[in-house]
Structure formats: C-alpha cells, structure tokens
Amino acid sequence: MRLILLGSPGAGKGTQAKLITERFSIPQISTGDILRAAIQKGSTLGKEVKEIVESGRLVPDEIVTQLVQERIKEPDCRSGFLLDGYPRTIAQAEALEQFSAIDYVIDIDVSDREIIERLSGRRIHPQSGRIYHIKHQPPHEAGKDDVTGEPLIQRKDDTEETVRKRLAVYHEQTSPLRNYYQQNKAVRYIKLDGTKPVDELKKTIHELLTQHKEVI
C-alpha cells in the first residue's frame, strides 16, 4: 500500500498520516520531519534548508527527492509507505515515478481562509514540542505552557505573512498535482473535505484503505 497525502500547509495531513500508519503498520515518510532533522543537525545543508523554510519557499526538488528515494529503500518500506509532504511539484511527481509506483493519492482540501486561521493562531512550547492554538486549543494561561509555565512561541513560518506566502507557493507549484494525479490512470485519486472532524475523515480514509487491503 503506497500512499500520497496532498493538501495545503495546515490541512491536517500530518494528523491523518499518523492515524493511517498506526492502523495499517506502514511507515510515514514526512519530508517535513526529514528537513527539520537536517536543520537541527546544523550542517551546511541544514542551514540552507532553514533559511528556505523560514522564508516560506520550497526546498529544491533535487534535495527532497534524494532524501525520499533513500528512505524508500529502507527495509520497513517493503510492505508500503505513506508520503506526507512529497511530491510537492510535477517535477517531483515525475521523479517519484522513476523509482516507485503509487496506489492512492488522498487530497485533503481546506480553504486558504481556514488555513490562515489555523496556522497563524498556533503556538509552540519549543522545549517539548507541545502545540496550542489561541482559539481552538488555548493554554490555561495565555502565552504559557500548561506543564512548565514556560513561554510559548509562534514559529516564524506560522506568522500570517509567511503563511500567505506558503499558500501562494502551494497554489503555484503544488496545486497542479491535483490535475496531474486525476489524469493518471495508474493511481486512484480521492479528494476529501478537510474541514470535517478528524474522526470523520479518519473513518472515511480507513474504510477506503481497508477495502484496498482486502482486494490485494
């Protein structure tokens, strides 16, 4: 079972990816996690990636594709995998076809207005990674972590200005993937309403993939 999750930044791909991988025992290949690891290492490449991400631009295709191709070769991907955040462009999709087939593309669709509210309201406790939202999941005390009382921060790539830039880049470079995969008869493309409750989306996706497993 080889899957791709599509959707704009903040559409909820990461949440559904974890639910899918737990249910079907396949690894999640998140380019976001791979790139954050590179940033944390502080290597020359990591510093380059950090500057690109914080400015709201996309990391070059060749860097991301190399990381994904190496990851897919690992033993835990023999029974399948889930790609979260890759491919982002037609060029990446074409590169992916050279080293792996894909069974399903699941597109989680959310409006720009909803995405801006979701991301610009997000606050992080940097030491633990705990995530809050000033409207939907506020801390007990404004601006402070519930556990430690330490200050929360807004990531640079969560500011409204950067979110708008990220969405503009997404619509220019990544949205065309929808048409690309809709026209690709070797892949089953499914578009879902990302504003639905998490559990409802989970049920829809799991029913679809369970049918797939029964067929194969």
- Where do the domains of the chain lie, and which CATH numbers do they carry? 2-211 (3.40.50.300)
The predicted structure's pLDDT at residue 93: 94
pLDDT, tens only, 162-211: 999 989 988 888 889 999 999 998 899 999 999 999 999 999 999 988 87
Spatial CA neighbour of 68 closest among 83, 55, 80, 78: 83
The vertex-58 CA angle with 55 and 59, nearest 5°, equals: 105
| Three-state SS letters, 68-82 | HHHHHCCHHHCCCEE
- Active-site residues, by number, are 13, 88, 122, 155, 166
Helix (H), strand (E) at residue 108: strand 104-109
Question: Judging by beta carbons within 10 Å of its beta carbon (0-12, 13-18, 19+), is residue 113 exposed, middle or buried?
Answer: exposed
Distance CA 184, CA 180 (A): 6
pLDDT > 90 fraction of the chain, expressed in percent and rounded: 55
160 Cβ neighbours under 8 A, 6+ residues apart? 116, 120
pLDDT score recorded for residue 191: 93
Alpha-carbon span 19 to 37, nearest angstrom? 22
Q: What is the pTM of this model?
A: 0.77
Residue 215: partners with Cβ closer than 8 Å, 6 or more residues away: none
Q: For 80-133, write each residue's pLDDT tens digit.
A: 999 988 898 898 999 999 999 999 999 999 999 999 999 999 999 999 989 999
